[in-house]
Chain A
Amino acid sequence: MKPEEVLINCGEMFHLISNYVDDAVDPALRARMEKHFRTCRHCTAVLDGTRNVIRLVGDDQTFEVPASFSKKLYAKLDEYLKATQK
């Protein structure tokens, strides 16, 4: 048996899925993980869910910044700059 064919268990997979999604696992490990995904519905579900979390958290529609935030920020900045420029 070649070393890359050593099986990975689900516990190890849960630890690695985040790095896998970030493309931060080496090719040999990636191949072993892909083999595991092909036969494990649990890990595939965790993988899909992790990707969905990343997509949702990264979506600009998901977390709104209060509409007045920008205005108040620049008002504060104006005020400070005016005071220092005297």
Chain B
Amino acid sequence: MKTLEIPRPTELNLVERVLAGDHAAFYDLIRPYERMVFRTAVSVLNNEADAEEVAQEAVLKAFKNLASFRREAKFSTWLVQITLNEARMRLRKYRAGLYESLDAGQESDDGDYIPKDYADWREIPSEALAKTELRQALAKALQTLAPMYREILVLRDMEQLSTAEAAEALGISEASAKTRLSRARLMMRDALAPGYDGAWSSGEGYKKVRPF
């Protein structure tokens, strides 16, 4: 688990303190989630500069609306929801005047996805992770995903939300979340597996591998 898990009473306690006027407690409440807020914003906007601004707006909004946070909910899911809303509002502003709606042009999430290639991709040597080539390939693969796939992948596999939490934050059913996640992972694999022939660690560049 990558996200720092704060015991629930402590987190609720921080919420109570902020609401009672101890504004400094809000910093402690937000700190474990600041990266999550940023990366969630990137997943919608696909742009770091916009995501920084949206993340700031989302955190301010969380502060202003803290009284409406339901105690039985999970703070992280609530915060992700606010961030997604802010990011989508920003996107809508950009698209104002265009005919397409937010969902226009998105692929439907039903239907089968067949891998393009069966390149063998067994192991990631740990040193390969430190390589710029691999990081760039990952960033590029993520950027080329349609937003509906990038969002679920970021919430589930990057931020480690459960399927139920991610579905709730995105306002979709769990079944739909699972289907989108499956597609997202297969598309990422398709984008990355063929390059994984040692190129990331040897620096020899891209080669397609089709062992079958």
Contacts and interface: CB of A to CB of B under 8 A. Distances in A.
Contact of B52 (A49, A50, A69): A69
B19 to A, nearest CB: 14
Q: Is chain B's binding surface mostly helix, strand, loop or mixed?
A: helix
Interface stretch (B77-85, B98-106, B111-119): B111-119
Given A72-B56, A74-B27, A63 B39 contact: yes
Given A48-B121, A70-B34, A73-B56, A59 B112 contact: no
A7 interface: no
A35 interface: no
Name which of A14, A53, A76 has the most chain B CB atoms within 10 A of its CB.
A53
Given A14-B114, A45-B119, A65-B38, A24 B56 contact: no
Interface size range on A against B: 35 or more
Name which of B129, B153, B157, B178 has the most chain A CB atoms within 10 A of its CB.
B157
A54 interface: yes
A18 B185 contact: yes
A82 to B, nearest CB: 10
Given A11-B114, A41-B212, 20 more contacts: A14-B112, A17-B182, A18-B181, A24-B163, A45-B120, A45-B121, A56-B129, A56-B134, A57-B138, A57-B154, A60-B2, A62-B138, A63-B39, A63-B135, A72-B56, A73-B52, A73-B55, A73-B59, A76-B56, A77-B26
4 tightest A-B contacts by CB? A18-B182, A49-B189, A49-B121, A57-B157
Interface of B: 2, 23, 26-27, 30, 34-35, 38-39, 48, 52, 55-56, 59-60, 63, 112-115, 118-124, 129-130, 134-135, 138-139, 142, 153-154, 157-158, 160, 163, 178, 181-182, 185-186, 188-189, 192-193, 196, 212
